[in-house]
Amino acid sequence: MSSSSTVSDAAQATDGVGLRRTLNLPTLILFGISYMSPVAVFTTYGLINQQTEGHLPATYLVATAAMLLTAYSYGRMVASIPTAGSAYRYARHAFGPNIGFMTGWTLMLDYLFLPMVSFLLAGVYLNSILPGVPAWIFSLALLSIVLVLNILGVKLVSRVSAVIMGLTAIVIGVFVVLGFARAEVEPGQLFASFTPGSEQFPLIVAGAAILAFSFLGFDGISTMAEETKDPRKTVPRATLLATLIAGLLFALVAWAGNLAHPGTDYANPDAAGVEIMVQLGGQVFGVIFVIVYVLGCFASAMVSQASVSRIMLAMGRDRVLPRQLGIVHPRWQTPVVALVVVAVVALLSTVLTIEQAVVMINFGALAAFSMVNLSVMKHYLVDRAERSFSSLLRHGLIPLLGFGVTAWLWTQLTGPAFIVGFIWVAIGLGYLLWNTRGFTRRMADTDFSETGDRA
């Protein structure tokens, strides 16, 4: 394909209708933080705080440092390839259409089930307030609302997310203030949660492997490149800032909780966050927390559904998935077909459990993270032959560390994650073999980068 053809095809789907550029740095940061959901810290609060012997805040800082490495690699690839598609697009560009397809296929295992987990959690929590209404009814209602909002446009989604994040910030702010105001520790123990002993450090590292999955969502920012103003600069900055801000928020909330409730003795570790909320503000504050938690799930579902639809949009454009997925609606300028498909898959939230859905997510996310780190090294050091000291540091050492951390996190996955993951990979490989007639023909190798390849 010629360079002129590449430019003319920029940011357009199979029907020639492009996505609308409306997002800037603040809205992208909110998008990423909404995806990660700050209230998610309470989902594993009791479990990991017990596992790390009261050092949950330090564990979040370790997890944040680990995730920033891969967030940086996403930024470097977006700076060169500012299009929808995320890890799929980067792996395709660096290693060819076959590996690109397998990366995108594996990534969808993560993205397709992330909205489902949000719907499941929201249904469970709303059912706890209104037990007379089945959880699946709440899940279905929220699914429908999220689909409509996403069809109407990403700008509307970003505005709704901003409102929800505002409410979340108020509740978290009150929690942190009350936690520090009613701290039950001696002044000398104020920073005890950040100062583990040598015997506790292995526990923190193991805990960080679990908490790393709290950061799933920073990578979703890259899927919005074609709807972002000046994506080469804006998306990398937003990816790093959203990851850093979310990590610091997680650590701050965990710290406040540890100050208000020293030790790791909880009536129910799975509901330790609610227990501390009630301890600080009474039953009313506990109910408010549940409501805000559900809103956080709602916001996360909105942005995760928007992200996966852009992955499918890119793969539909390239004809590696049905071309209808690559169609952008001429009026709303959103990938309506892809959004509907994601919603249909999310209907599984009415029959699956949270544990079953979560198992399916981790495998796909870590596979995508690994390929993005490798893509940076291949793209800059091999394809572009950039061998200066600066490039070796930026495009060699940092992505290599990111890949090493991701590979280690893989060793922390459970057996069911590998079983589901490899079954999914086998299905994708079978489709790839059929599509390429046993690798005897090449998949379409189009490039939708807007203005060519840049640093």
* Cα–Cα–Cα angle for 314, 317, 323, rounded to 5 degrees: 120
Under 8 Å between Cβ of 291 and 275: no
For residue 381, give the DSSP letter: I
CATH 1.20.1740.10, applies to 12-435: yes
Q: Do the beta carbons of residue 428 and residue 55 sit within 8 Å? A: no
Which 3 state secondary structure label does DSSP give 271? helix
53: left (phi over 0), alpha (psi -120 to 50) or beta: left
pLDDT tens digits for the chain (455 residues)? 333 333 333 344 445 555 667 778 888 888 788 777 777 787 778 888 888 888 999 999 998 998 999 999 998 998 888 876 678 889 988 998 889 889 888 887 777 777 777 788 778 778 777 888 888 888 888 888 888 888 887 677 777 777 877 888 888 888 899 888 888 877 778 888 888 887 888 888 888 877 876 787 787 787 777 778 888 888 899 999 999 999 999 999 999 988 988 888 877 776 677 778 888 888 788 788 878 878 877 877 887 787 778 778 877 877 777 887 878 877 777 788 888 888 888 887 677 666 666 666 778 888 888 999 999 999 999 999 998 999 999 999 999 999 998 888 777 777 777 888 899 899 999 988 988 888 887 765 444 333 344 44
Domain locations in the chain as residue ranges: 12-435
Q: How far is CA 300 from the centre of its chain?
A: 9
Distance (Å, whole) CA 363 – CA 418: 7
pTM above 0.85? no
SS3 track for 144-159: HHHHHHHHHCHHHHHH
Residue whose tokens read 């559904």: 305
